[in-house]
């Protein structure tokens, strides 16, 4: 499935010392890319020079073009070759063109669309666009797991007492309510997490130990989650994450912590809490084999796995829509976008 998907941060591009100037090499769905901030904006090209197939990320960002490190051919923002140093008077072969993908910067993230036959759009991140919220980006992280497994872990309520006994759960309070799930609009899954009575934990936005927080979950196909948490001090925290598939076995997660307090607020407190939680999750998640979600007969599910089973069904519906053609896929995803 080749949808518009996050791929790196603007900050990483600015600070990149790859190649010979502000070129970022990354992989999305197995496709190697080079990202460059040219005068005309941020561009994404296949990381391959069409001349003799050298990697473009080894080259130079020349401002209005990307120059290959091997024989110095230059490619403009539309991918067309504009200069061949060994042949100054031309002609430039008309098919001398680097492959260019749709690319856009939003939420300080770089989004790339590998398949432009489908009119996908960048997912909603309402807190980022709401001036009453302050949003801080967490450090993106790469895990050895498929993006769908990452999302399942993020929305798994039954693992709290075991994986997160110090932060999110309490092994002495292993009570678990199977949530009601709202599947409207299509492409979205919503449910609520009600903390068990007496289950302690977590830090609130002020850094105080707080009861595990009531949370509204919204899952956006294919790999996005928003957590909406009303805090005891009357403010709201919104966590937003998106898992990006590097390939079938690795994903990179981008995430934000947003809060609407008017008081001085140190975003590093909830960010640090979240990072402690991630450290606890990585072991069990990376131990899952295969990294991809397997055939249903290869794992055992119970009624307590309702969220993950529903999510897997949603992914199946997405694949069916993809097979039915661009119109079906666009309808499914547009419905989701417009109703978050
Ligand atoms: Fe890139 Fe020759 S391989 S210019
Ligand atoms: Co966890």
Is any ligand 1 atom within 6 A of the Cβ of residue 54? yes
Asked whether 75 and 98 are in contact (CB, 8 A), the reply is yes
**55 CB less than 6 Å from ligand 1?**
no
- Cα of 260 to ligand 2 centre, how many Å? 24
Residue 129 within any structural domain of the chain: no
The domain tally of the chain equals 2
Q: Consecutive sets of 10 residues in the chain, 340 residues long: mean pLDDT of each? A: 51 67 88 94 96 96 95 98 95 97 92 86 88 91 96 92 76 74 88 71 48 83 92 85 95 93 77 87 96 93 94 92 84 62
Q: Would you say how long the chain is, in residues? A: 340
Instruction: Tell me, yes or no, whether 128 lies in a domain.
Output: no
So what's the pLDDT on residue 4? Answer: 43
pLDDT digits (tens, 9 = 90+) for 95-148: 999 999 999 999 999 999 998 888 788 888 889 999 999 999 998 999 999 999
Question: What pLDDT score does 240 carry?
Answer: 94
C-alpha torsion angle, residues 65, 68, 72, 73 (rounded to 10) = -60
At residue 340, the pLDDT reads: 47
Range of the domain at 278: 134-334
Write down the pLDDT at residue 1. 32
232 lies in the same domain as 102: no
Cis preceding-peptide flag for 222 (omega within 30 of 0): yes
Query: Which bound ligand lies closest to the C-alpha atom of 54?
Result: 1
CB of 80 within 6 A of ligand 1: the answer is no
Does residue 221 contact residue 155 with C-beta atoms inside 8 Å? Answer: no
Residue 45: give its domain's CATH number. 2.102.10.10
Same-domain status, 108 and 162: no
Phi then psi for residue 103, to 5 deg, are: -150, 140
pTM greater than 0.95: no
Is 243 found in the same domain as 173?
A: yes
Closest atom, ligand 1, to C-alpha of 71 = 4
Ligand with an atom nearest the CA of residue 160: 2
Tell me the ligand closest to 278's alpha carbon.
Answer: 2
Q: How confident is the model at residue 74, as a pLDDT?
A: 98
Q: Please tell me what DSSP assigns to residue 40.
A: T
Query: Do 84 and 213 sit in the same domain of this protein?
Result: no
Nearest bound ligand to the CA of residue 166: 2
Asked if 242 and 201 sit in the same domain, the reply is yes
Name the residue among 1, 4, 291, 323 with its Cα closest to residue 152.
Answer: 291
Q: Which residue has the tokens 């960010």?
A: 271
Task: Please indicate, yes or no, whether residues 269 and 153 belong to a single structural domain of this protein.
Answer: yes
Residues 94 and 139 in one domain: no
- Whether ligand 1 lies within 6 angstroms of the CB of 75 is answered as no
Cα(181) to ligand 2 centroid in Å equals 20
Q: Which residue minimizes the CA distance to atom 4 of ligand 1?
A: 71
Give, in order, the Cα–Cα distances in Å from 249 to each of 149, 173, 286, 291.
10, 34, 10, 5
Q: Ligand 1, residue 84: give the atom nearest the CA.
A: 4
224 and 292 together in one domain: yes
Kind plus residue range of the DSSP H or E element containing 313: helix 306-324
Give distance in angstroms: CA of 274 to centre of ligand 2: 10
285: CB partners within 8 A, 6+ apart: 143, 145, 149, 150, 153
Local structure of residue 63 (DSSP, 8 states): S
Residues 6+ apart with CB under 8 A from 209: 200, 201, 202, 203
Q: Is residue 118 part of a domain?
A: no
Q: How far apart are CA 108 and CA 95, in angstroms?
A: 34
Residue minimizing CA distance to atom 2 of ligand 1: 71
- CA dist 80 and 136 (Å) reads 37
In a domain, 127, yes or no: no
* Residue 230 CA, ligand 2 centroid: distance in Å: 20
Residues around the ion ligand 2 (C-beta < 5 A): 281
Is residue 218 helix, strand or coil? Answer: strand
pLDDT at 151: 97
| 258 plus 156 within the same structural domain | yes
In what helix (H) or strand (E) does residue 319 lie, and over which residues does it extend? helix 306-324
Q: What is the model's pLDDT at position 198?
A: 55
Residue 126 forms part of a structural domain: no
Q: How far is the CA of 326 from the centre of ligand 2 (A)?
A: 35
């Amino acid at each position: 499935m080749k949808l518009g998907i996050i791929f790196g941060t603007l900050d990483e591009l600015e600070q990149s010392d790859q190649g010979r100037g502000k070129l970022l090499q990354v992989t999305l769905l197995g496709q190697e890319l080079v990202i460059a901030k040219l005068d005309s904006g941020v561009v994404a090209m296949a990381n391959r020079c069409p001349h003799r197939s050298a990697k473009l990320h080894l080259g130079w960002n020349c401002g209005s073009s990307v120059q290959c490190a091997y024989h110095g051919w230059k490619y403009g923002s539309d991918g067309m070759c504009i200069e061949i140093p060994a042949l100054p008077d031309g002609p430039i072969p008309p098919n001398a063109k680097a492959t260019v993908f749709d690319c856009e910067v939003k939420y300080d993230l770089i989004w790339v669309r590998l398949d432009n036959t489908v009119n996908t759009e960048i997912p909603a991140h309402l807190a980022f666009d709401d001036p009453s919220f302050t949003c801080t980006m967490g450090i993106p992280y790469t895990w050895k797991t498929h993006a769908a497994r990452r999302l399942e872990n993020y929305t798994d309520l039954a693992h709290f007492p075991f994986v997160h006994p110090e932060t999110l759960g309490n092994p002495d309070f292993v009570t678990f309510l199977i949530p009601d799930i709202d599947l409207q609009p299509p492409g979205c899954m919503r449910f609520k997490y009600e903390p068990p009575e007496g289950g302690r934990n977590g830090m609130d936005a002020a850094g105080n130990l707080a009861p595990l927080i009531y949370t509204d979950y919204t899952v956006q196909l294919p790999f996005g989650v928003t957590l909406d948490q009303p805090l005891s001090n009357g403010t709201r925290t919104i966590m937003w994450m998106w898992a990006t598939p590097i390939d079938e076995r690795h994903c990179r997660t981008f995430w934000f912590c947003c809060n609407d307090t008017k008081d001085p607020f140190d975003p590093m407190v909830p960010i640090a809490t979240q990072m402690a939680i991630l450290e606890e999750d990585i072991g069990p998640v990376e131990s899952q084999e295969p990294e991809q979600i397997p055939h249903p007969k290869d794992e055992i599910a119970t009624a307590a796995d309702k969220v993950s089973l529903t999510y897997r069904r949603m992914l199946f519906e997405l694949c069916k829509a993809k097979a039915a053609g661009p119109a079906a896929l666009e309808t499914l995803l547009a419905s989701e976008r417009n109703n978050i």
